[in-house]
Structure 1
Amino acid sequence: MEELSFFNRELSLLQFHKRVLHQATDASLPVLERVRFLCISATNLDEFFEVRVGGLIELIERGSGTTSFADGMTITQTKEAIAEQAHEFVHQQYTVLNEQILPLLRENGIFILRRDEWVSDQINYLHDYFQSDVLPLLSPIGLDPAHPFPRILNKSLNFIVSLNGKDAFGRNSGRAIVQVPRSLPNIIELPSELVSEGRGFILMSSIIHHFMDELFVGMTVLGCYQFRLTRNTDIFLDEEETDDLLRAMEGELAYRQYGDEVRIELADNTPEDQLEFLLNRCEVGNRDMFKVNGPVNLSRFNDLFDLIKDPAHYFPPFTQSVPRAFKRYDNYFDAIRRQDILVHHPYESFSTVVEWIRQAAKDPQVLAIKQTLYRTGSESPVVDALVQAARAGKEVTVVVELRARFDEQDNVALANKLQRYGIHVIYGVVGFKTHAKMLLIARKEKNQLRNYVHLGTGNYHAKTTQVYTDYGLFSADKSFGEDVYRIFLQLSSMGKMSKMETLLHAPFTLHRSMIRKIQREVDHAGNGKAAHIILKMNSLCEEQLVTELYKASQAGVSIDLIIRGICHLKPGIPGLSENIRVRSIVGRFLEHSRVFYFENNGDPELWLASSDWMVRNMFHRVETCFPVKSKKLRERIIDDLKLALADNTHAWMLDGEGNYHLVQPESEGECVDSQAILLAQWAASS
């Protein structure tokens, strides 16, 4: 397969962030939901620089800049292309903010007041607030030989201040740095009596800026300018040389905020001398400097969600449903024993998982609970239920993945908490992240041990299950139970790989099994039989699997891909991929489920998985992939896939040049919003 048969991974990810930003321009969405998408695009870009760009810079510094990726671009070329597209992206963000979001907020009576709009009563109120709540927390640093340029905290908001005059000690370096404490709110609301119309809000940065001279008594503040530094936040652990992974992770987390510099954002009115000074001190090049026309760090507008309660500005609320099967029986074990039960989040409630563990904690027949936890959130009802079970005398074992990116701090605290309650905590296998989503409950029934399982495509995180689309399957299937038990045994002990009866799992059988299933469709197409593949996942960038999909297309297999984010594959290329279509759905909810459908000549197979088709998932993580055995449930998920393929409201089609085009309904055709239809079908309005 030629190099140019693949799209660049990093640029493909940037394309996804652009599709998220586009949601902020959608006039059909409530105003604060548009603000939310703008903020998401900002935090996405932060993470992109912290991880993806940071990783590229590391490779370049190691002398790997000329190394080529599968798409034919070198690391240096990729970095340059990112810089060009990222600058365009940031310009689009601030254009959306200034030309759409802020005027729209004002139309709805929500005023983000600039300093030049403040009237005397407001200034007096803000001055009192500054004196009582802000000034005591500020620690300005005058720059002189005794106070060198400080180590700037990752993503903290700062001011560089131009000064004139001498302080009490006769010093005058002409510059100072003021960091905005993270303990302060990003936005405050003015009392209603101080606002002539609507509601008035003030950015904390505006307050500090306005009263900056009170930090430098006797000196003249000539100007102050916002800036923000982004650092490489990847954590490196030499696991082979680490005796205690928990202790090592705790140590490394302290250094995360001070990694190498990868980007600087500045107010676009920053004078040239201050700009050059910051670039020099922060060791950032011009290509990694972003001048912005507005507040630095757009994600600060997230605070509006806690301040504004008007339901007219949000998506209509809904109530997540509970499968009827759970309502028919006194306990969940009776329901699961009779049939496999599927839940589709966020349309159906994640509370079913929590309730099941709570029932297990009280059930005298339950002997043991085993669960994997990758991301749970700081306040987790799942963890509380597991603690209840341990206190009730159940044998509870939890696999905690300490290295879940950006959740490491929470997971370290989680591991310590679980151990305090006598829960067995293990950290998986050295060199392999445990990304599988598994819950096993062992119950003694009629003097025999029966294993009940929950397998999912997403994390056991109560909050994200309200906004991420994922599937979860409850089952008492014997082969499921035995296979899940074997995987837990692998994670907690040492030994050879156990042979699975039903499940596929990475890093052992998943990759080659997917290749065989693709090749089986090729054989069917070659014999004139029905051959169709539908794959839904977050990312597709494992080269061998992409190559096999190309071969399948060339053999006449019809292939539909629903890839939310990164996609290496080029669709619609004559002689290569003319039978492949790629779409991405970006809507109210984050599409997160992994579903693999193979037509198999009229005897379809449908698999759910914790894994995307990426190198890391296939070879460097512990993942699970499980079949949906129930015909009824299988048909339900196939209907969901068909609905996604019919979406003409929030779907984007990828072309062979790497561009995404928003799918539009035909002039007289019906609008199909797959998420809205599923919401109406499975959830109830609040």
Structure 2
Amino acid sequence: MTALKNQHKEELKSKYLNRELSWLKFNDRVLLEAQNIENPLYERVKFLSIAGSNLDEFFMVRVAGLYSQIKQEVDSLSSDGLTPEEQMDEVVVETKNLLKKQNKIFTQLIMELKKYNISLVKPVSLNTKDKKKLLETFKEEIYPLLTPSAIDPAHPFPFIINQGRAIVMKLRKKNKKRILNTIIVIPKALSRFIEIESSKNHKKFVILDDVISFFANEIFPDHDLEKKMIFRVIRDSDVEIQEEAEDLVRSFELALKRRRTGDIVRLEVLENSDNELVRFITNKLDINPDYIYDVAGLLGIQDIDQICKVKNTKLRFKHFTPREVERLKEYNDNFFETIKKKDLVVHHPFETFDSVIEFLNQAANDKKVIAIKQTLYRTTLDSPIVKALITAAENGKTVTALIEIKARFDEEANIQLSRSLEKVGVQIVYGFAKYKTHAKSSLVLRREQGKIQTYFHLGTGNYHPVNAKIYTDLSLFSCDKKMASDVEKFFNYVTGYAKPKNLNKISISPVNMRQTLNENIDAEIKNSKNGKFAAIWAKMNSLVDPEIIDKFYEASNAGVKIHLFVRGVCCLRPGVKDRSENIVVKSIIGRFLEHSRIYCFSNGTKKMPNRNAKVYISSADLMPRNLNRRVELLVPIENETVHEQILDQIMLANYLDTSQSWELNVDGNYKKIKYSKNDSFSAHEYFMNNPSLSGRGKAKLKMQPKQLHLRLIKSGSN
């Protein structure tokens, strides 16, 4: 039995890559952008900050889940054949390697910042004048907020919030042997870095944690500091609710309170911390010593970008202003007239997200508009999208907003948002208790010549104006009658649980999206077996679903040429003989966060790209949760210009990218694609410098994407 089990585990391991380890590989690629000297210095610091923030979230959710499985003695295997304990063992090793690299890069960047008059120093190294100034700052701005707590039977050990830091001190009463153990929880309200020397061209900072330790004698004048240790905790932050909860909002409010007191899943201590104090804190927090991670640089490294305060345009990416959608100008910026003529796709952030806002603003103030329906997954309370919905309600229109309060780490904000919208008369719905509504859609009903005309927006990204500046996403505007009918059925599904039937064009998960994808892959397999050219180009954030991966393997074995652009987690193992040798997986990491989901199938054509290929955009990644447990949309692209923009511009540019691309090897590691300066091509640079076909309007006739096709021919690929 054991031999069969081991054989089964080895088969799974050879077939799939581990999800958690693949995520750590992704964060490693982000971290290496902090080391990439082709990036401006401040941007490198920002990548270091992002990598640190990513790792925190990974522990709060994914690692917390593994620890929970281990505690519950779950022995089921992951898709790649590992038990929770085996996964955790490998995660710990990879995380510690990642932290070593992170610490090394931190040291490098601090040295380089010095060249631009930004210094991070220790209080002890300051001259007398600066120490005096720092003491004044400590007494006036820091000391009043501190609450030292003795650690003894009379004083309960203080609670340390998620991502919170604290200093434990061992003090000795002056001229006596009596020992005092105390802890100071560092208030979140205090700035992480204290400026010592502040001028236009020179900034000198000390870390708040070091300042508090340095002035321990001001806090405890009758004691001498013998030892001290600074530490930081990461807690389980996943939220669980009962699917049958009668009041979803109340259930989430209770769950969010539990999140704040979740179990500790990582304890960060500075390298070379005193062993006695490490054991003392480990015992007090009642955590496994395996949860301790040494940090050589800065605890909570995501804060590091706060010190990039000397203005220097050379240290940032060259300023980029998103383009206006030119085709709108041909119709006096009237969205309804523009869309009525033909479909429009806007490519964010290269084309402004203001177009989405303007669409809703026009709907809110148009006397002919009678109703607006809107999904909101992640946005902000002061979002212009929200303001447009409020204006529409105040103007007497029927406004319905589906707010997904299960959007991780935005639950609290979304609950607050729902209450604000309810006050102005917006009808609020929360969708399904057991499914997240991840689809992005706006529906506008307008009375025209005695009939109701439906206009809609479907997106691959959230209605979040801040994220829209750095996330690459697509917005489709249309009034196609058959698709409009499908969008109406979608809204009835999420608001009234009316399961959609007889959909015309759009696929919805968990109803029929998986079926549509499988049918398209099967069609490519059939074409290849019949001697026709067959290819699949697909772009997504994550590829995890074993059934879809198996379908890709089947297609590869049938001779289908598959190119996958997967920014983050990828569990498919490419390049395996007789399984995946026709599959290439590429990840683009750069200035903008790749976020759009696009699925393309050659459909019996002789090459890719081709105008007869089937093209879809979607809100869904290829993960079990997206296809089985989330409400998502898969939207076919039929308009000729929009089709060409997505396939011949966006997907082809991703295919040809060399400067920001990493290729996944059979062993699960990624290799940066090598290129000469003459062969260098950046998809992001191309998008910033070349208007889109759909948004260009009449001028697009002069601007076909020939340069990309010529580059494709030159590369000899297809």
Same fold (TM over 0.5): yes
Look up the match of 1:316.
Answer: 318
Match of 2:231 among 217, 227, 234: 227
Give the number of equivalent residue pairs: 675
Look up the match of 1:524.
Answer: 527
State the shift of 1:79 in Å: 0.4
Match of 2:77 among 68, 85, 91: 68
Match of 2:196 among 186, 190, 195: 190
Q: Deviation digits for residues 58-100 of structure 1, max 9, x if unmatched?
A: 1111110x321111111110000000000010111001011x1
Matched, 1:302 2:305: yes
- Looking at structure 2, the residues matched to 496 and 624 of structure 1 have their Cα atoms a distance apart, in angstroms, of 14
1:173-252 matches, cutoff 5 A: 174-192=180-198, 198-240=202-244, 242-252=245-255
Look up the match of 2:394.
Answer: 391
Q: Deviation digits for residues 122-166 of structure 1, max 9, x if unmatched?
A: 111111111111111111111010113222211101111111118
1:62-211 matches, cutoff 5 A: 62-64=72-74, 66-98=75-107, 100-165=108-173, 174-192=180-198, 198-211=202-215
Q: Deviation digits for residues 17-75 of structure 1, max 9, x if unmatched?
A: 000000000101111100000000000000010000000111111110x3211111111
- Looking at structure 2, the residues matched to 662 and 18 of structure 1 have their Cα atoms a distance apart, in angstroms, of 12
> For 1:123, what is the secondary structure of its paired residue?
helix
Matched, 1:54 2:64: yes
> For 2:252, what is the secondary structure of its paired residue?
helix
What is the one-letter code of the residue matched to 1:444?
R
State the shift of 1:466 in Å: 0.4
1:539-578 matches, cutoff 5 A: 539-578=542-581
> For 2:170, what is the secondary structure of its paired residue?
strand
Look up the match of 2:691.
Answer: 682
Q: Is the 8 A contact 1:468 1:589 kept in 2?
A: yes
What is the one-letter code of the residue matched to 2:94?
Q
Unpaired runs of 5+ in structure 2?
1-7, 606-611, 693-718
- Looking at structure 1, the residues matched to 587 and 504 of structure 2 have their Cα atoms a distance apart, in angstroms, of 34
Q: Deviation digits for residues 91-132 of structure 1, max 9, x if unmatched?
A: 11001011x100110111211122232111111111111111
> For 1:388, what is the secondary structure of its paired residue?
helix
- Looking at structure 1, the residues matched to 243 and 147 of structure 2 have their Cα atoms a distance apart, in angstroms, of 39
1:168-567 matches, cutoff 5 A: 174-192=180-198, 198-240=202-244, 242-305=245-308, 307-330=309-332, 331-567=334-570
- Looking at structure 2, the residues matched to 620 and 192 of structure 1 have their Cα atoms a distance apart, in angstroms, of 52
For residues 308 and 409 of structure 1, do their structure 2 counterparts lie closer, same or farther at Cα, with a shift above 3 Å needed? farther
Q: Is the 8 A contact 2:403 2:418 kept in 1?
A: yes
For residues 447 and 157 of structure 1, do their structure 2 counterparts lie closer, same or farther at Cα, with a shift above 3 Å needed? same
Look up the match of 1:661.
Answer: 671
- Looking at structure 2, the residues matched to 40 and 423 of structure 1 have their Cα atoms a distance apart, in angstroms, of 36
> For 1:224, what is the secondary structure of its paired residue?
strand
What is the one-letter code of the residue matched to 1:205?
D
- Looking at structure 2, the residues matched to 80 and 328 of structure 1 have their Cα atoms a distance apart, in angstroms, of 60
What is the one-letter code of the residue matched to 1:188?
I
> For 1:462, what is the secondary structure of its paired residue?
coil
Q: Is the 8 A contact 1:443 1:450 kept in 2?
A: yes
Q: Deviation digits for residues 389-421 of structure 1, max 9, x if unmatched?
A: 111111110000001001111111111111111
State the shift of 1:171 in Å: 11
What is the one-letter code of the residue matched to 2:189?
S
What is the one-letter code of the residue matched to 2:231?
F
Matched, 1:36 2:46: yes
Look up the match of 1:671.
Answer: 680
Q: Deviation digits for residues 338-384 of structure 1, max 9, x if unmatched?
A: 11111111101111111111111111000000010000024311111
> For 1:414, what is the secondary structure of its paired residue?
helix
Q: Is the 8 A contact 1:225 1:269 kept in 2?
A: no
What is the one-letter code of the residue matched to 2:323?
S
> For 1:480, what is the secondary structure of its paired residue?
helix
For residues 244 and 131 of structure 1, do their structure 2 counterparts lie closer, same or farther at Cα, with a shift above 3 Å needed? same
> For 2:266, what is the secondary structure of its paired residue?
strand
For residues 496 and 676 of structure 1, do their structure 2 counterparts lie closer, same or farther at Cα, with a shift above 3 Å needed? closer
- Looking at structure 2, the residues matched to 558 and 128 of structure 1 have their Cα atoms a distance apart, in angstroms, of 67
Q: Is the 8 A contact 2:431 2:495 kept in 1?
A: yes
> For 2:154, what is the secondary structure of its paired residue?
coil
> For 2:562, what is the secondary structure of its paired residue?
strand
> For 2:276, what is the secondary structure of its paired residue?
helix
- Looking at structure 2, the residues matched to 302 and 425 of structure 1 have their Cα atoms a distance apart, in angstroms, of 38
For residues 223 and 379 of structure 1, do their structure 2 counterparts lie closer, same or farther at Cα, with a shift above 3 Å needed? farther
State the shift of 1:561 in Å: 0.4
State the shift of 1:192 in Å: 3.7
- Looking at structure 1, the residues matched to 121 and 57 of structure 2 have their Cα atoms a distance apart, in angstroms, of 29
> For 1:574, what is the secondary structure of its paired residue?
coil
The answer to which of 107-116 and 444-453 deviates more is 107-116
Match of 2:34 among 2, 24, 40: 24
Q: What is the TM-score of this pair, normalised by structure 1?
A: 0.96
> For 1:266, what is the secondary structure of its paired residue?
strand
- Looking at structure 2, the residues matched to 283 and 225 of structure 1 have their Cα atoms a distance apart, in angstroms, of 17
What is the one-letter code of the residue matched to 1:439?
S
Unpaired runs of 5+ in structure 1?
none
Matched, 1:650 2:654: no
What is the one-letter code of the residue matched to 1:358?
N
State the shift of 1:283 in Å: 2.6
Matched, 1:635 2:648: no
The answer to which of 539-548 and 205-214 deviates more is 205-214
- Looking at structure 2, the residues matched to 494 and 579 of structure 1 have their Cα atoms a distance apart, in angstroms, of 41
What is the one-letter code of the residue matched to 2:144?
P
Q: Deviation digits for residues 612-642 of structure 1, max 9, x if unmatched?
A: 0000000000000101111111111112212
> For 1:485, what is the secondary structure of its paired residue?
helix
Q: What is the TM-score of this pair, normalised by structure 2?
A: 0.92
Match of 1:14 among 12, 21, 24: 24
- Looking at structure 1, the residues matched to 394 and 540 of structure 2 have their Cα atoms a distance apart, in angstroms, of 38
Q: Is the 8 A contact 2:228 2:277 kept in 1?
A: no
For residues 604 and 207 of structure 1, do their structure 2 counterparts lie closer, same or farther at Cα, with a shift above 3 Å needed? same
What is the one-letter code of the residue matched to 2:579?
L
Q: Is the 8 A contact 2:42 2:305 kept in 1?
A: no
For residues 328 and 567 of structure 1, do their structure 2 counterparts lie closer, same or farther at Cα, with a shift above 3 Å needed? same
What is the one-letter code of the residue matched to 1:315?
F
> For 2:375, what is the secondary structure of its paired residue?
strand
Q: Deviation digits for residues 312-343 of structure 1, max 9, x if unmatched?
A: 22111111112111112231111111111111
